[in-house]
Structures are given as structure tokens and as C-alpha cells.
């Protein structure tokens, strides 16, 4: 697969099976080979990586070849997270967000509207009003899916509906669409051996910058205090942003509830109730 997509001879694979897999090219260069998880997933990921990389902010692995089902990227040698790299990452993440997007829900150029976040479908439908867009395309679709799967009880859906009704008053000051990674948990943050962070596996779209930061809080990030210090230095967040973290965590928590079950549904309910209590 790597040979066909890169035009180079592959000489070995580590591990020998599975995806993503590390493959050695004929000159000893290691690359990563990955299969897409659903229709359009590779196109969405490739477009997302290129869109994030075009901002000239946080680095991403170069895409070396792809088709509809497979992609090949450069392999990033990794090292240990450090406070200096974390500070720079925060500054670079702020620059990525400031690169912007045409509208909320904007798909990366060349990327499909029907995209993915992990194994869950994610629709990139355009919107100009963030509270309305967030409710329609990042909260309620996953509430409905979780109810259909039996992960959420029908009566519990009303908690999220009440949050959506109150979004205009709890969303904070209006902000322009940011260029989001979209699935920014620690597993998608590679701490390079050269001291530079790379981002992988994006669910890139136009959204609210606090959503990326809320996901870093949700799943943990080494030296998060330094990441936030760098971010605030480069692009200060609006007052009250910490109080809005549970609101922005609804999206990833509901996605995880759909994919992984009741434990995440209960976390999403807690975040929704914290938002309503403001």
C-alpha cells in the first residue's frame, strides 16, 4: 500500500499487521500507513491536515499519498513533553485558531460535509450563529443517537434541550469562527523529539476556539497550565471561559456516549447540569 501511494518501494512493516502501521521505505525512511474508518474518512482527514498545516501555526505530519481508503504520512519521532514545548504549543494553537474559517461548520477545502470524529459521523453544515449551530449540529444529533441506542433515557434528553434553549445566554461573547482541530485530546497531540508539537487525526472544521481547549481539559494534556499560559499570551480568552468548559465538553462527551456507552452519557449529563446551574 505504501509503495503504491508513494511510488517508493516498501521494505518492512512495524508492527507486521494492523493500522496505523509503521512502514519502512527503501531508503530507510519510516512512514505511517492508515486505513480510513468510514466513507469519506480519508478525504476528510487529508483535507483537515492540509488545512491545519496551511495556517503555518501548529505543525502536522506531511501527507505523502492517499486514495479513498488509505493514507500515508510522515512518521513523527516522539519525545517527552516539556514546559517549553507546551508554552509554544499554546501560542501556536492560538495562531491556528486565529487563522479562522469561512463560517461555523466549515469543512476544510476539499473535505466532505459528511465527515467523522473518530468512529462517529460528524456533519459540517454551515452556520453564522454559534449557539444555534452548536445546538443543531454538535449537541442534539448525538443526543438523539444516544437515545436511539439506549445510552441515554428519553427523559434525560430534556436536560440537553434545556441547555440548547439557554445557549444564547450562556455562550459568552460572540467570536468569529476559529480553525479547529476538532478532536483535540492528548492522544492526537504528538510531542516531537525535536521539541515541536504535531497534531494528528483531526476532525477539522470551523467552530468556537473554546471547544478545542475544553477537550484538552477533558482528556488531560501534559503541562496544560503552560499550554494555557502560551495561549492566553497570544490570544486572551473572553472572561468566564473556565465557566464555559462544561458547555464545550458536551460535544466530545456526547460523541463518546454514542461510541462507548453509559459512563460518558452520565458525564455529559453532569456537564449539562453544570451549565444550567450557571
pLDDT given at position 15? 57
The pLDDT of residue 5: 59
Report, in angstroms and rounded to the nearest whole number, the Rg of the chain calculated over CA atoms.
19
Report whether 88 contacts 57 (CB < 8 A). Answer: no
Of 255, 246, 186, nearest in space to 214 by CA: 246
Spell out the per-residue pLDDT of the chain, length 278, in tens. Answer: 566 756 666 666 665 555 688 887 777 788 888 888 888 899 999 999 999 999 999 999 999 988 888 889 999 999 999 999 999 999 999 999 999 999 999 999 999 999 999 999 999 999 999 999 999 999 999 999 999 999 999 999 999 999 999 999 999 999 999 999 999 999 999 999 999 999 999 999 999 999 999 999 998 899 999 999 999 999 999 999 999 999 999 999 999 999 999 999 999 999 999 999 98
Q: How far is Cα 268 from Cα 200, in angstroms, rounded to an integer?
A: 25
Half-sphere exposure of 244 (CA within 13 A, CB side): 21
For residue 201, indicate whether it is catalytic.
no
Which grid coordinates belong to 233? 499570551
Q: How far is CA 87 from the centre of its chain?
A: 20
pTM for the whole thing? Answer: 0.94
All domains of the chain, ordered by start, with CATH? 77-278 (3.90.1200.10)
Q: Apex CA 201: angle with CA 26 and CA 247, to 5°?
A: 170
Alpha-carbon distance values, 128 to 10, 138, 230 (Å): 47, 14, 29
Active-site choice (114, 129, 183, 194): 183
- Model pLDDT, residue 35: 86
pLDDT value of residue 18: 58
pLDDT of residue 16: 53
Q: Provide the CA 113 distance to its chain's centre, in angstroms.
A: 15
Q: Are 146 and 259 in contact (CB under 8 A)?
A: no
Amino acid at each position: 500500500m505504501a509503495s503504491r501511494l508513494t511510488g517508493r518501494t516498501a521494505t518492512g512493516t512495524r508492527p507486521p499487521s494492523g493500522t496505523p502501521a509503521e512502514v519502512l521505505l527503501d531508503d530507510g525512511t519510516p512512514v505511517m500507513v492508515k486505513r480510513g474508518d468510514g466513507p469519506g474518512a480519508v478525504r476528510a482527514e487529508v483535507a483537515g491536515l492540509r488545512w491545519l498545516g496551511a495556517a503555518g501555526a501548529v505543525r502536522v505530519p506531511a501527507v505523502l499519498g492517499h486514495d479513498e481508503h488509505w493514507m500515508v504520512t510522515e512518521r513523527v519521532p516522539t519525545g517527552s513533553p516539556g514546559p517549553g514545548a507546551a508554552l509554544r504549543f499554546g501560542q501556536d494553537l492560538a495562531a491556528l485558531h486565529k487563522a479562522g474559517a469561512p463560517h461555523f461548520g466549515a469543512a476544510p477545502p476539499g473535505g466532505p460535509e459528511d465527515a467523522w470524529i473518530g468512529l462517529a459521523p460528524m456533519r459540517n453544515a454551515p452556520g453564522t450563529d454559534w449557539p444555534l449551530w452548536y445546538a443543531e449540529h454538535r449537541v442534539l444529533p448525538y443526543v438523539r443517537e444516544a437515545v436511539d441506542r439506549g445510552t441515554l433515557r428519553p427523559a434525560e434528553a430534556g436536560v440537553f434541550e434545556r441547555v440548547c434553549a439557554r445557549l444564547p445566554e450562556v455562550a459568552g461573547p460572540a467570536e468569529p469562527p476559529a480553525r479547529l482541530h476538532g478532536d483535540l485530546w492528548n492522544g492526537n497531540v504528538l510531542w516531537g523529539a525535536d521539541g515541536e508539537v504535531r497534531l494528528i487525526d483531526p476532525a477539522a472544521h470551523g467552530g468556537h476556539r473554546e471547544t478545542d481547549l475544553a477537550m484538552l481539559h477533558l482528556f488531560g494534556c501534559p503541562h496544560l497550565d503552560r499550554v494555557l499560559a502560551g495561549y492566553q499570551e497570544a490570544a486572551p480568552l473572553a472572561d468566564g471561559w473556565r465557566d464555559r468548559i462544561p458547555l464545550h465538553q458536551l460535544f466530545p462527551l456526547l460523541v463518546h456516549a454514542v461510541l462507548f456507552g453509559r459512563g460518558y452519557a452520565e458525564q455529559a449529563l453532569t456537564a449539562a447540569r453544570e451549565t444550567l446551574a450557571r
